[in-house]
Structure 1
Amino acid sequence: MASPGYGKQTAPGELPPAADDFAHLPVREAYLASLINNLPDGAAMDVKTLAVYQPLFGQMAVRTALNNLSTAGHLRRVRERVNAERPQWVFRTYFSRTPHSDAWWNYFLATGGAPEASTDSAPDPPEERSATPPSSVSPAYAALAGLGVADTRLALSAADCEALEPLAAEWLARGTTPALFTAALTAGLPTPVHSPAAFTRRRLIDKMPPERPLPQQQPTRIIECTDCRTPCRPHALLGGLCRACRSGRATKAPPPRPGALSPIAVRRHADRIRQGLRGDNTQLLQAR
């Protein structure tokens, strides 16, 4: 077992156990996934411990298998802050018998709850999405449509509301309530307003409220690359691996320094030193 608070953590959203849970995996990955699945929560599952725990695979093979299990959607490594008063962090590996997509893992690690089943499903084809009409209008669209009710000089058409919707949405995103939105756009209107859409667009741009600074919050969970354990943002990981590990650069040896001896030259130099030492010892023995 790992230290309290560390080690394996079972992710939610698993399907009932079945004999073919890991049939989609290669033999080595299926073997280790079955082993990890049977470990209790809190069990140590670092590379060294898993290599010692079973007799078939060494540390390098276990490390590669864990990377493959991450890519297949079975696990993610994270650092979690468990104490809000002082910065105490623990290292955990979330494991799911049921594989999940990157979107599912990102939602779970950001919120702590399992998303709906639709998060793991493939998106609908574009033609099917476009054929389905929206069931309700957005708050920004509704605020724009309500301007004509508050003052007929700003009566906008449906096309005008759709075109101005992004600007209005930015107002609401910056904390403006629908009532304040209507008051700001209808105050001091000229008579007449020749082009309600152009006039509204100009006011939306000129009177845009300032962005409100967000309160600084300490992160409670940091996702790591499964391979190199580097902390990363969720969108930078695909299959739980960072870009360097996916491209293989993280496993390549660093380039030799300028002027550094090659391994062959180092061995030759060491052999010459050994021969010199043996010669000196021989002379010493003869002198005695």
Structure 2
Amino acid sequence: MDTQHDIALTRALAEVPGPLPLSGVIHVTIPHTIRFTVVGNHLAQHAELSLTAIGIAVHIQSLPAGSQVSIKALAARFAEGETTIAAALRELETHGYLHRTRERLPNGRMITRTVFCNQPGALLMGGAVVPVAVAVPVAVAPVPVVTPVVPAPLPAPAPAPVPLPAPEPTPVPEEAPPPVRVPSRIAPKPPRRPLPQPRELTQELHRAASALLADLRRHAPELVLSEDDVEELVPGAAAWLERGAHPDAIRHALTTELPQPPKYPAKIVRHRLTVLLPPPLPGAQELAPVRRTPVTPFQTCEGCDRAFRSPAPGHCRDCRAQYWEAA
């Protein structure tokens, strides 16, 4: 079989027009007649798509409508895992080849609507969608046929008219609820919060923060930081120390309940230094007790026994007015 294959390949190379290149690929092109798919070079030679994404796109484009192209279905068909296939599908969504939306059916069931476009660029420019080919009957010119003249038979008596049943009213279809749009999984993520910075990174503060970060691996062997990682994370640890956090408290916040196994120790430390940053210690003014406004006590009028507010006992306002008039 190998010998026949080599002979056939040699004959095919002999029929290639022009001189053969000294290096690189040589194309032996045999026209397809059945079971083929047209793929554009914009996809096959895409500069930003991975090879896995291009292969999955070609596979999806070759499938008939209604085929299952979920992550689990593709993982069961190919040797790549679900993680690799999911990443490739996200690449195709990013570049417009694949669109996945969640829609609700009239019966309340949620489904995923998957649409594959073979030319996203042409779709954005208003390209026409090629409809499914429908067989159209070809008009054939009638051929005259000579038939013998036969006397017409006598007309038969017309049958009695049969009453037709009344047509049933056509049911009006209920309007389906609008599809529920779910945010795409490739939506841009919010920007990462910056690492805390101290008001003044002194030499002593820098030395204390560096020692604290380098000493983490004694308490958590998983947190092995490189010299570059320590130098990058020093401002965050210095901000904690500047706010009065004890080194033991900082060490406890950075080494407690670590994921197993931690893949990126520097990212874990950076995240905790940023998210768990304590507020600054309050000053003496903030901790001072709240001063209450003095309340004027009640007094009993010596003339009419009516209660009134006054810092000292005496007469109420009405009694004082009467005494003034009498005087």
TM-score, normalised to structure 1, is 0.33
TM-score, normalised to structure 2, is 0.30
Higher RCO structure, 1 or 2 (CA under 8 Å, sep 6+): 1
